Structure 1
Amino acid sequence: MKIRAARASRRAARVRRALHPWLLLAPALAVLALLLFWPLVRVVLLSFQDYGLRQINTGESNYTGLDNYREILGDSFLWTTVLPNTVVFALTCVVLTVVVGTLVALLLQRLGRTWRFICSTVIMMAWAMPAVTGTYVWIWIFDPLDGVVSGGLDGLGMIEPRETNWFTDRWSFYAIATLNVVHHGFPFVAITVYAALLTIPRELPEAALVDGAGAWQRFWRITVPTIRPVFMVVTILSTIWDFKVFAQIYLMPGGAGSNPDVLNLGVWSYTQSFARNQYGMGSAIAVLLTLLLLAITVIYVRALSKEKDEP
């Protein structure tokens, strides 16, 4: 009896130890469930309904199964316009953001203390600028009549401002949006990579320099392998952020839906929901975007796990 009681006591102690962390996390998890999980569940439920103004007024549900998803996936507009806009734009922004951020980080590493402080301050100001403010600045820069770019090219005789609108063409529209996103995103990469560069022992690049390695060889064979996990983190986070870009597209002329050729998944979901009052359809688009982001997150977690497991 004593042995059984001792075993039961040990099992109870193990259960208490296992539950203790969850009890400490319970308040935070409850808040997250209320603020994040329930809205997500609500969006998923709406995506299976034909939900419009009538349903909002009456409060009734009108489940149609997978009809919204069939309509979206069967629409050529998704495959020829929206999805290419989303994917190509996001990948381009990620590549440019990581490259520019890395170059700036290498520059910061070589600057003196005073200039490093000045440049870091300017970089952080660009990062701190709200997306809405930054977008309107870029709209002003490329304004067809009074913008800096149009005025400069007009002075050189290269364009006719009244006949050139940078926001109507799909490629020039996304070129401006790319400049906007990269300008807003590269400071995070620059500061993060610069912090990682400080962890590299000086002996490694100095030894490579003595052995005759050039700047590119030192960067590719020493810097990149040493801080590869940092590059992976900033790349995956930038990918997630750039797939979710909304304000930088929606606020530009034509980006709110008047020019369908420039819609991405986020703005398409918004316009379907609030411009056309097709909340079920908009929710289904949002769910597809969420699944895409979840797939990217899984890749991110698996990549980090492989990095941790490597000797």
Structure 2
Amino acid sequence: MTADPGARARPARPPRASGAARRSAWGRALRPWLLLAPALLVLAVLLFWPLVRVLLVSFQDYGLRQINTGENNWTGLDNYRDLLGDSFLWTRVLPNTVLFAFACVALTLVIGTLVALLLTRLGRTWRVICSTAIMSAWAMPAVTGTYVWIWIFDPLDGVVSGGLDGLGLIEPRETNWFTERWSFYAIATLNVVHHGFPFVAVTLYAALLTIPRELPEAALCDGAGPWQRFRLITVPAIRPAFTVVTLLSIIWDVKVFAQIYLMPGGAGANEDVLNLGVWSYIQSFSRNEYGTGSAIAVLLTLLLLAVTVVYVRTLARERDEP
């Protein structure tokens, strides 16, 4: 008796998973999310909902009346139209924010990298001394550091004004470093870089310790100079750490607030020195225009996202290139 050829060609069906097996698979898939649930809940309450609330307020004409009554006064995109149509945004606030952040990030990375390279060449004792000194600068609160720099550049009693007066270069009573836009931001840049470079230095120093000693020694034997060894060996080896500190520096420096707000004129008395963060605060809490302040905050967030995305995509494109 011959077998049915159609039966031989019919593929065997895989056995169906039992209900217990399916429930076990679902349990394994959900277990990580259940472990993360408390942290995600805290983040949703502390971060996500405030962000959503700021976005909703930015579409309203929201002031003290709305705070007291709880009513909504939706105006659509009017706040954004007013902001984007205001020349003050394009000629003062946005250049202050972007150029200041660019200068701070560049100087922080350069100085931090140089200090990290210096630490690799120092002996143990001097390395501990230098690391302690730079970490003290990083541990100093931003408010305290800002007041120190204000004292250093005080027009009458500051160290800089006193020294230049002793040399006969300036007249202290006629020189105020905080009234001019460029000198104001030069002091703010010194403040931010002084506070930020220790983190970059320590992080890159830790990355430098992971480079095998044989690589620079082999390059030295091949006749490579210091710049060639740094460009061809050191930079590729510490690129991941360099990417992290660059992204963090961009985020921190674009949204700088205390270092600007606490300086003389930075709280709104001198509108030429406002950046997006301080402008948002003043519109909201000094002028009670919470809708406009929220719209500025949303623009600041979008600027941060845009800069971060462009930087990450540029790095990814460079990494993919042969």
Q: TM-score range by the shorter chain?
A: over 0.9
- Is residue 15 from structure 1 mapped to residue 4 from structure 2 by the alignment? no
Deviation of the 1:13 alpha carbon: 2.9
Amino-acid identity (%): 81
Corresponding residue for residue 74 of structure 1: 85
Give how far 1:297 is off. 3.6
Structure 2 gap segments, 5+ residues each: 1-13
Q: Please show how residues 244-259 of structure 1 align to structure 2 within 5 Å.
A: 244-259=255-270
- 1:205-224 aligned within 5 A: 205-224=216-235
Equivalent residue pairs, number: 310
Kindly state the Cα deviation for residue 299 of structure 1 after the two structures are TM-superposed: 4.1
* Superposed CA offset, 1:72-112 (max 9, x none): 01100000100000000001000000000000001111000
C-alpha distance in 1 between matches for 2:238 and 2:205: 10
The residue type equivalent to 1:289 in the other structure is L
* 2:50 is the counterpart of 1:39: yes
Alignment match, 2:71: 60
The 5-angstrom pairing of residues 111-190 of structure 1 reads 111-190=122-201
Residue identity in the other structure for 1:141: I
Q: Secondary structure of 1:48's match? A: coil
- Give the superposition deviation at 1:32: 0.8
- Write the distance in 1 (CA, Å) between the matches of 2:228 and 2:315: 25
Amino acid at match of 2:264: P
Task: Summarize deviations over 1:142-198 as a string: whole Å, max 9, x none.
Answer: 000000000000000000000000000000000000000000000000000100110
1:305, distance to aligned residue in structure 2 (A): 5.9
Gaps of 5+ in 1: none
Q: Point out the structure with max Rg over C-alpha.
A: 2
Match of 2:290 among 279, 282, 301: 279
Cα deviation per residue 1:46-97 (whole Å; 9 max; x = unaligned)? 1001011111122111110000000001100000100000000001000000
Q: Give the superposition deviation at 1:302.
A: 4.5
1:78 partner letter:
L
Change (3 A) 1:296 1:136: same
Task: Return the match for 1:84 from 90, 95, 117.
Answer: 95
2:276 is matched by which residue type in structure 1? Answer: L
Asked whether the 8 Å contact 1:126–1:187 carries over to 2, the reply is: yes
| CA separation of 1:38 and 1:245: change in aligned 2, threshold 3 A | same
Amino acid at match of 2:246: T
- The Cα shift of 1:207 comes to 1.1
Equivalent residue letter for 1:238: S
C-alpha contact 1:269 1:281 (8 A) present in aligned 2: yes
Distance 1:208 1:108 in 2: 21
* Contact in 2 for aligned 1:229/1:304 (Cα 8 Å): no
TM-score w.r.t. the length of structure 2 is 0.92
Measured against aligned partners, the alpha-carbon deviations of 1:255-298 in whole angstroms (never above 9, x if no partner) come to: 00010000000000000001111000000000111111222343
Q: What amino acid is aligned across from residue 260 of structure 2 in structure 1? A: I
Aligned to 2:271: 260
State how far apart, in whole Å, the 1-side matches of 2:60 and 2:318 are: 43
Counterpart secondary structure, 1:227: helix
Q: CA deviation at 1:9?
A: 4.2
2:40 aligned with 1:29, yes or no? yes
Aligned-pair CA distance for 1:11: 3.5
Offset, 1:5: 5.5
1:106 corresponds to which of 117, 122, 128: 117
Q: Could you tell me which residue of structure 1 aligns to residue 301 of structure 2?
A: 290
- Tell me how far 1:236 sits from its aligned partner: 1.2
Aligned-partner Cα distance in 1 for 2:204–2:47: 31
- Between the aligned partners of 2:210 and 2:320, the Cα distance in structure 1 is 20
Q: In 2, Cα distance between the equivalents of 1:190 and 1:72? A: 39
Aligned twin of 2:280: 269
Aligned position for 2:5: none
RMSD, aligned α-carbons: 1.9
C-alpha displacement of 1:12? 3.1
Asked whether the 8 Å contact 1:236–1:296 carries over to 2, the reply is no
Which letter maps to 2:98?
A: V
| SS of aligned partner of 2:17 | helix
Structure 1 counterpart of 2:194, which letter? Answer: H
